[in-house]
Structure 1
Amino acid sequence: MNDNRVMPEQIDAIMNAAEVTVEDRFGCMTVVHAKLSCGFIITETSACIDSANYDRKIGEEICMERVRNKVWELEGYHKMRRNADVE
């Protein structure tokens, strides 16, 4: 495996191992907490303007995509930092 890349399979494994909770707030907001296997917690939110348009499933999908992107960013930072410490 190329040590200069974060692979989608790595992110999938991290996401699959995460403990995730989903909450509805104020009738128009979704809150997702993802506790990674290392104990680090990522929290994301999604809300709509009008509670009549609120859809928890859509809110959860938006939040989970944001969590995934954050995991990708953190893994990239970790790998870059680890590689820099070696050089």
Structure 2
Amino acid sequence: MLDEKAVEAEIDNKGLNAPRLTPKLIDSKIVGEQYHIFSGTTLTVCVLHLVNGFTVTGESACASPENFDAGIGRKIARDNAREKIWQFEGYLLKQHLLEAQ
């Protein structure tokens, strides 16, 4: 798993200050979250609600039901959903940069 704080520190130390996404910006887009564990399974789904009304989903599941832990499932599903926000916001930033040229 990526250590976002370490990456942010490296970016700051190198003086890379062009327009970019940050973990703080990504987190600011999230206004709500919901979770569902499907009965009889280890499948956990996270729905993140974004400030503009859009939603993204993330999933997690484990192969061995004996290893299932709801808290861990929620964390992995949320991380997977949050990762999608980076892609959408990256596209949006690139579009804004193009339009500013």
TM-score, L = length of structure 2 = 0.73
Tell me what 2:76 maps to: 62
Root-mean-square deviation (Å): 1.5
Report the Cα offset of residue 27 of structure 1. Answer: 2.7
Report the Cα offset of residue 86 of structure 1. Answer: 2.2
TM-score, L = length of structure 1 = 0.83
Q: Which has the higher contact order (CA 8 A, sep 6+)?
A: 1
Of the three residues 13, 29, 32, the one matched with 2:46 is 32
Tell me what 2:67 maps to: 53
State the alpha-carbon separation in 2 of the partners of residues 3 and 80 from structure 1.
Answer: 12
Aligned length: 84
Instruction: After the TM superposition, list the runs of 4 or more consecutive aligned residues in structure 1 that deviate by more than 2 angstroms.
Output: none
Asked if the contact 2:48/2:82 (under 8 Å) is kept, the reply is: no
State the alpha-carbon separation in 1 of the partners of residues 20 and 36 from structure 2.
Answer: 34
Asked if the contact 1:27/1:54 (under 8 Å) is kept, the reply is: no
Asked if the contact 2:58/2:79 (under 8 Å) is kept, the reply is: no
State the alpha-carbon separation in 2 of the partners of residues 12 and 44 from structure 1.
Answer: 15
Report the Cα offset of residue 3 of structure 1. Answer: 5.8
